[in-house]
A and B are shown apart, each in its own frame.
Chain A
Amino acid sequence: EAQVTQNPRYLITVTGKKLTVTCSQNMNHEYMSWYRQDPGLGLRQIYYSMNVEVTDKGDVPEGYKVSRKEKRNFPLILESPSPNQTSLYFCASSLKNRARQETQYFGPGTRLLVL
């Protein structure tokens, strides 16, 4: 089954403790992206990757890192989490994402609470 998976689905952590949220897709997609969703602010893009070893900042990249060493994986790294990073995170992928008619596939989400 074609899908985007994220782990963990739920995470409670403390300020400053490094964490990684994994994202994997099995569709051989070139493009992958991370979004965060907050009440009243909607979904905002954090980082995206057009292909292996190619990443770029989205609208809200501060406090986050990403890497794209393999096509299928795009982990989101919080080196020193803070309470304002408490949010619902979604990973997404699409084939190439340069065509205006391409669609994005989203993962199930990771709910993060930073105390």
Chain B
Amino acid sequence: DAKTTQPNSMESNEEEPVHLPCNHSTISGTDYIHWYRQLPSQGPEYVIHGLTSNVNNRMASLAIAEDRKSSTLILHRATLRDAAVYYCILRLGGSQGNLIFGKGTKLSVKP
């Protein structure tokens, strides 16, 4: 799977929006962009994914740059429960299913 680059850590205040960036300059036209997060002492959980268009779900929004070389996960109103490590992952077509987790971004949320 192609490589992604994320900041090591970010901080946010509770109830404010959070924009988590991800660079994936080597992305190919058929790679999907997936985001997972890992809350403390839990397994990773799926957040959102997209290909070209921006995506919204109940957890977050995903904004994908027009050239697809970067994307941003948007949490509209951060809560204390959103404190986690967020992973940006590219999924190739026909892959064996290996999710290549990088180091992710550790998000801290201050009350």
Interface residues of A (CB under 8 A from B): 4, 31, 33, 42-45, 48, 50, 56, 58-59, 90, 92, 94, 97-98, 100-109
Nearest residue, chain B, Cβ from A106: B43
Candidates A31, A104, A108; contact of B46 at CB < 8 Å: A104
Q: How far is the CB of B92 from chain A (nearest CB, A)?
A: 7
Contact (A103, B46) CB under 8 Å given A42-B101, A42-B103, A59-B98: yes
A33 in contact with B46 (CB, 8 Å): no
Does the CB pair A48–B97 fall under 8 Å? yes
When distances are taken between beta carbons in the complex, the residues of chain A under 8 Å from B91 are 100-102
CB within 8 Å for A100 and B97 given contacts A42-B103, A43-B44? no
Main secondary structure of the interface of B (DSSP, over half): loop
Q: Which of B16-24, B27-35, B65-73, B75-83 is the contact stretch?
A: B27-35
12 contacts between A and B (CB under 8 A): A4-B43, A43-B44, A45-B98, A45-B99, A48-B97, A56-B96, A100-B30, A100-B31, A100-B91, A106-B44, A108-B43, A109-B41
The minimal Cβ–Cβ distance linking A88 to chain B, given in whole angstroms, is 9
What is the CA–CA distance of A33 and B86 in the complex, to the nearest angstrom? 20
Q: B98 to chain A: which residues have CB within 8 Å? A: 33, 45, 48, 58-59
User: Are B96 and A90 within 8 A (Cβ)?
Assistant: no
Given contacts A42-B103, A101-B49, is CB(A90)–CB(B97) below 8 Å? no
Complex-state Cα separation, A90 to B39, whole angstroms:
14
User: Please, how many angstroms separate the alpha-carbon atoms of A44 and B44 in the complex?
Assistant: 13
A105 vs B32: C-alpha distance in the bound complex, in angstroms? 17
List of B residues within 8 angstroms of A97 by Cβ: 96-97
Residues of A within 8 A of B42 (CB): 108-109
Interface assignment of B45: CB less than 8 Å from any CB of chain A:
yes
Q: Closest chain A residue to B49 by CB distance?
A: A101
**Which of A31, A45, A108 has the largest count of B CB atoms less than 10 A from its CB?**
A45
Residue from A48, A103, A108 within 8 A of B49 (CB atoms): A103
CB distance from B77 to the nearest CB of A (A): 24
Given contacts A100-B92, A105-B46, list 4 more A-B pairs with CB under 8 A: A48-B97, A102-B91, A108-B43, A109-B41
